[in-house]
A and B are shown apart, each in its own frame.
Chain A
Amino acid sequence: MFTVKNLVEELKLEIVAGERGMINLITDVYIGDLLSWVMAKVDDGNIWITIQTHENIVAVAVLKDLSCVIISENAMIDNDTITRANVEEIPLLRSSLNSYQLALRIGELLK
């Protein structure tokens, strides 16, 4: 069992919002920046890595039961997105690493 809390600790991610969802269990990881594409492909419990920071990413995460969203490369996050992630209890995390580097690190952790 690997939780979002474990992930945050291992990768030293910044918790931007949605701390109440830190107990969510992680199944796998998905990278994508086109929302409809992600809607079609991502699975329950996945970590979603993206550079999109518009508030609609939270809607996608809720509808697809994702464990958390990681914003890569320290992209700026809209205040509305932060508010919505807190309301929906979706962990919104951030890292200076790029999406590829994050996925590599997560791949090692999920082995």
Chain B
Amino acid sequence: MKRVGTIQIKYMIAKNDFSKAGAAASNIKKTLRKLGISTDVIKRVAVAAYETEMNVIIHSHGGIMYLNIDVEKVTIIAEDKGPGIEDIEMAMKEGYSTATSQIRELGFGAGMGLPNIKRCADNFEIKSSLENSTIIKMSFNLK
């Protein structure tokens, strides 16, 4: 595996920390801009990174997001501390959400998070079960 020219940044995401919500996604966007990556890719990464970050904040006990950039692609991996997703198929459907009414009142829980991520990324993988953490991996081609 090529390591030359790879940028890796790690973001710690805390449960229910709305005061920092969007901070990781904003930093990712700024990083990509500095690297001169195309606007089309930046726009898609920004949406996917935001949704990923919000999912970790709202639905998990916290987790970590990793940003990897090499010459071929931008990759974001998020791993949380669980609890996992009971029904991934349902979670992938637009409009389906398990967010509480309190969270919904703040404008979250539209049930668009995972579908938004999948739509924006060139590759998207999700692994989760109720007993385990959720791992999401997405990549965006640069070539």
Contact = CB atoms under 8 A, between A and B. Distances in A.
A37 B112 contact: yes
Interface in B10-52: 18-19, 21-23, 25-26, 29, 43, 46-47, 50-51
B49 to A, nearest CB: 8
Interface residues of B, number: 23
A55 B18 contact: yes
Interface of A is mostly: helix
A104 interface: no
Given A52-B106, A54-B106, A63-B50, A36 B22 contact: no
A57 interface: yes
Contacts of A60: 22, 50
B110 A34 contact: yes
A33 B107 CA distance: 6
Interface string A67-84: 000000000000010000
Contacts of A1: none
Interface of A: 33-37, 39-40, 44, 50, 52, 54-60, 62-64, 80
